[in-house]
């Protein structure tokens, strides 16, 4: 290790012992480190992994997820997770899903390649909607809505639309809410009033613009001068062609000057016509804004439309939206974790270490980053009979490498929850360039108790008891959405509560004799433009029943709102129309005077030109006759000679 430069340093200091290149004294510390690591993995690793999994799953579920037990074996590369409880964020006292155990074993062959491949996993004792010992923690909803994507924004807008309390508002009207009092405090911020002010301003601006344009036009004196020049042109007592030609030339010069001066007048006249027409059109748009004001006031007064479409949306819109939102969320997750074949990787911002782009050099039959080949789902009754069975096939991060789509099927019953005949199939096909996710689900029977449909201070409506069956299918292909829902509730017992006797009577009368309720929903289109079609016979019944009680009151309220809006803007409107007419007539008359002068001069110029042309023609004709006579005489003389 010494070199020549070292020799330059005096050798008075102590020389260390010459040790070999290998650090043998490090073997003991290294053994201690390995021992500590082994001890950690034996004693603490499972507990720490359990905590980490709980944390990750809680974030994904948006509510507490508890894992009862976790055992790992490094030697067998196996994991056993026991008693998983996923809190339902809507009901923190209950679990959305409870799983008895999940067992799986990873392939060492894949682990050594930095990949996780599970040949077979088993998911046992799956239950839904089970009670929790203590309420689970629910994570607060992040500020900024459910997501940042365009689809999320549209769904958030729909949520706002569906979450209105239409039935409560109708009940309030039935109970006798007085719209006159509400109206008294409204109407100071009408859009139509602001629009009229803006239109008046624009009329004044237009008037000024036109006044300055008219002032810049050639003056009356300019045309009088041209007229003087025209009167100086000799039109009579012309002796020969040369004189006629000279007059014509003079006339052409006057015409050129006239054209140059009259063009701005002509242009202004035609532009004024189109400008005034456009102004009139913008005034006619005022009616549309007045209608908007009326609608806006109706909304502010909670005066909803009494039609089945609105009622269907009010009753079940949020349910359907919830399902569509879930489908959207799962779709985004699936597309993020299972990228579509041929999808271009987006360049990650290259600031943090370990980012950059990952390249896949997979061969056919090689492993993807993660691959769960098969997971068997089972749940058994206490007697040992199978209650639920299903399987999940080919969950992978690279379907093109696996060559198969992910398919999950489940069928069976949840007897403790009174749910039977569950059949579901989920197919996630990202093998093609357009990703396809398809879910079809069917529940033959499930019990409904205490389900609220409407909850407002003035009225509450819900199912006290019912038996339900449901069919749900969703197909997401690229950006296209096609969701179908068909729910049937039989043996329905309604529960209605209302403060007012009239409302109670109205609700009971509307729903009497209705023993079964159906709900059909079809959501189609693209995520940016969804078409929502909802229909339910409960909305039909309510619409029929409520119309009897409410139509008169609502018509009266609407008429009152319209009258109020029109009354508020009537004076302003009248003034604006008068102003518009005044400006129009003043501008037209200012231009008409100039235009009349132009027309008169043009007619005079045309007449003078015609007169001169006629003279020229007559003069030339006379000369031709004279020449002909001379030539005839010459011919006769020649004939006589010969």
Partner 1 sequence: MTILLKQLFALIKLLNSDTGTNQIAAGFACGLILGFAPLLSLQGLLVLVCIFLFRIQIGAALLSAAFFAVIAWLLDPLSDAVGSAILEADALRPVFTTLYNMPLIPLTRFYNSITMGAGVVSLLLAPLVFWGSKKLILVYRTKVVERFRNSQWWKLWSGTVLFKWYVNYEKLRG
Please select the residue that binds partner 1; options are 133, 344, 351, 640, rule is CB under 8 A. 351
22 binds partner 1 (CB under 8 A): yes
201 binds partner 1 (CB under 8 A): no
Nearest in space to 321 (alpha carbons), one of 128, 152, 506, 94: 152
Per-residue interface string for the shown chain with partner 1, residues 366-395, x marking contact by CB under 8 A: x-----------------------------
450 binds partner 1 (CB under 8 A): no
Residue with tokens 């909670």: 302
Nearest in space to 315 (alpha carbons), one of 552, 553, 548, 546: 546
Shortest spacing between CB 26 and partner 1, in angstroms: 5
Shortest spacing between CB 366 and partner 1, in angstroms: 5
Shortest spacing between CB 7 and partner 1, in angstroms: 9
113 binds partner 1 (CB under 8 A): yes
6 binds partner 1 (CB under 8 A): yes
28 binds partner 1 (CB under 8 A): no
Nearest in space to 498 (alpha carbons), one of 454, 537, 464, 442: 454
Shortest spacing between CB 5 and partner 1, in angstroms: 4
> In this structure, what token pair is assigned to residue 247?
């007059």
Closest CB to partner 1 among 38 and 607?
38
Closest CB to partner 1 among 75 and 359?
359
Given a contact cutoff of 8 angstroms between Cβ atoms, the answer to whether 341 and 433 are in contact is: yes
Shortest spacing between CB 357 and partner 1, in angstroms: 5
Shortest spacing between CB 106 and partner 1, in angstroms: 14
Closest CB to partner 1 among 344 and 357?
357
Of 8-16, 311-319, 537-545, 629-637, the segment contacting partner 1 by CB under 8 A is 8-16
8 binds partner 1 (CB under 8 A): yes
Please select the residue that binds partner 1; options are 28, 43, 112, 215, rule is CB under 8 A. 112
Nearest 5°: the CA angle 21, 22, 24 is 140
14 binds partner 1 (CB under 8 A): yes
Residue 373, beta-bridge partner list: none
Three-state SS string across 112-175, please? Answer: CCCCEEEEEEEEEEEEEEEECCCCCCECCCCCCCCCCCHHHHHHHHHHHHHCCCHHHHHHHHHC
Shortest spacing between CB 111 and partner 1, in angstroms: 9
Task: State how far the alpha carbon of 17 is from the alpha carbons of 5, 20, 85, in Å.
Answer: 19, 10, 63
Closest CB to partner 1 among 14 and 513?
14
Alpha-carbon gap, residue 105 to 125, rounded angstroms: 19
145 binds partner 1 (CB under 8 A): no
Given a contact cutoff of 8 angstroms between Cβ atoms, the answer to whether 111 and 77 are in contact is: yes
344 binds partner 1 (CB under 8 A): no
Task: State how far the alpha carbon of 544 is from the alpha carbons of 219, 255, 520, in Å.
Answer: 72, 78, 19
143 binds partner 1 (CB under 8 A): no
Q: What is the DSSP string of 433-468?
A: SS-EEEEEEEEEEEEEEEEEEEE-SSEEEEEEEEEE
35 binds partner 1 (CB under 8 A): no
Alpha-carbon gap, residue 112 to 104, rounded angstroms: 17
Please select the residue that binds partner 1; options are 89, 164, 279, 362, rule is CB under 8 A. 362
The 10 Å CB-count burial string (b at 16+, else e) for 69-94 is: ebebeeeebebbbbebbbbbbebbeb
355 binds partner 1 (CB under 8 A): yes
Given a contact cutoff of 8 angstroms between Cβ atoms, the answer to whether 485 and 472 are in contact is: yes
Of 107-115, 242-250, 251-259, 275-283, the segment contacting partner 1 by CB under 8 A is 107-115
Please select the residue that binds partner 1; options are 252, 360, 381, 449, rule is CB under 8 A. 360
Closest CB to partner 1 among 3 and 148?
3
Alpha-carbon gap, residue 19 to 3, rounded angstroms: 16
Kindly identify the residues of this chain, within the stretch 51-70, that bind partner 1 according to CB under 8 A.
Answer: none
43 binds partner 1 (CB under 8 A): no
Of 128-136, 351-359, 410-418, 458-466, the segment contacting partner 1 by CB under 8 A is 351-359
Shortest spacing between CB 29 and partner 1, in angstroms: 8
> In this structure, what token pair is assigned to residue 206?
């237009």
Q: Rounded to 5 degrees, what are φ and ψ at 503?
A: -65, -45
Shortest spacing between CB 79 and partner 1, in angstroms: 20
The 10 Å CB-count burial string (b at 16+, else e) for 266-279 is: eebbeebeebbeeb
Please select the residue that binds partner 1; options are 109, 204, 240, 632, rule is CB under 8 A. 109
- Binding residue count for partner 1, defined by CB under 8 A: 38
Binding site for partner 1 (CB under 8 A): 1-3, 5-6, 8-9, 13-17, 19-23, 26, 30, 109, 112-115, 350-351, 353-363, 366
């Amino acid at each position: 290790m010494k070199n020549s430069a070292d020799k330059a340093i005096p050798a008075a200091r102590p020389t260390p012992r010459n040790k070999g290149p290998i650090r043998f004294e490090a073997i003991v510390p290294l053994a201690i480190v390995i021992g500590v690591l082994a001890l950690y993995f034996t004693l603490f690793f499972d507990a720490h992994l359990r905590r980490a999994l709980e944390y990750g799953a809680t974030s994904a579920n948006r509510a507490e997820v508890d894992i009862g037990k976790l055992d790992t074996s490094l030697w067998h590369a196996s994991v056993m997770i026991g008693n998983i409880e996923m809190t339902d964020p809507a009901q923190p006292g209950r679990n959305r899903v409870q799983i008895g155990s999940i067992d799986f074993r990873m392939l060492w062959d894949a682990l050594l390649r930095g990949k996780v491949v599970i040949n077979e996993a088993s998911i046992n004792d799956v239950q839904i909607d089970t009670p929790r010992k203590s309420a689970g923690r629910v994570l607060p909803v992040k500020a900024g809505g459910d997501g940042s994507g365009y689809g999320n924004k549209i769904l958030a807008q729909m949520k706002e639309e569906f979450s209105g309390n239409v039935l409560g508002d109708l009940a309030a009207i039935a109970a006798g809410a007085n719209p006159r009092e509400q109206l008294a405090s409204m109407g100071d911020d009408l859009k139509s009033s602001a629009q009229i002010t803006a239109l008046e301003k624009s009329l004044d601006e237009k008037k000024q613009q036109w006044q300055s344009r008219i002032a810049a036009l050639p003056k009356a004196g300019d045309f009088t001068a041209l007229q003087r020049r025209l009167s100086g042109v000799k039109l009579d007592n012309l002796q020969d062609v040369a004189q006629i030609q000279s007059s014509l030339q003079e006339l052409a010069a006057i015409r050129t000057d006239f054209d140059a001066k009259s063009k701005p007048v002509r242009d202004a006249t035609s532009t004024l016509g189109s400008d005034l027409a456009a102004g009139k059109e913008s005034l006619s748009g005022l009616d549309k804004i007045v209608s908007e004001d009326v609608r806006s006031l109706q909304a502010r007064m909670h005066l909803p439309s009494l039609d089945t479409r609105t009622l269907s949306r009010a009753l079940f819109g949020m349910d359907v939206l919830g399902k569509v939102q879930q489908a959207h969320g799962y779709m985004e997750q699936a597309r993020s974790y299972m990228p579509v074949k041929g999808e271009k990787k987006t360049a990650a911002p290259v600031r943090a270490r370990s980012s950059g782009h990952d390249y896949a050099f997979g061969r056919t039959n090689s492993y993807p980053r993660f691959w769960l080949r098969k997971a068997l789902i089972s749940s058994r009754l206490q007697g040992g009979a199978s209650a639920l069975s299903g399987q999940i096939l080919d969950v992978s991060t690279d379907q093109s490498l696996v060559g198969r789509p992910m398919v999950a099927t489940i069928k069976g019953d949840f007897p403790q929850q009174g749910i039977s005949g569950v059949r579901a199939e989920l197919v996630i096909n990202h093998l093609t360039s357009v990703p396809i996710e398809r879910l079809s689900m069917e529940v033959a029977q499930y019990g409904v108790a205490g389900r609220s449909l409407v909850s407002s201070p003035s009225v509450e409506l819900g199912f006290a008891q019912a038996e339900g069956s449901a069919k749900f299918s969703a197909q997401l292909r690229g950006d296209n959405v096609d969701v179908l829902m068909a729910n049937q509730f039989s043996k329905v017992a309604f529960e209605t509560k209302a403060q007012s006797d009239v409302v109670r009577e109205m609700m009971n009368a509307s729903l009497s004799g209705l023993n079964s309720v159906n709900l059909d929903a079809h959501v189609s289109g693209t995520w940016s433009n969804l078409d929502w079609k909802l229909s339910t016979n409960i909305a039909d019944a309510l619409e029929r029943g409520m119309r009897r009680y409410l139509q008169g009151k609502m018509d009266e309220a609407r008429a009152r709102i319209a009258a109020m809006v029109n009354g508020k803007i009537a004076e302003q409107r009248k003034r604006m129309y008068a102003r518009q007419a005044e400006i129009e007539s003043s501008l037209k008359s200012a231009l008409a005077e100039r235009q009349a002068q132009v027309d008169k001069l043009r007619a005079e110029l045309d007449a003078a030109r015609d007169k001169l042309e006629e003279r020229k023609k007559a003069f030339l004709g006379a000369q031709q006759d004279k020449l002909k006579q001379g030539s005839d005489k010459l011919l006769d003389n020649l004939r006589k000679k010969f």
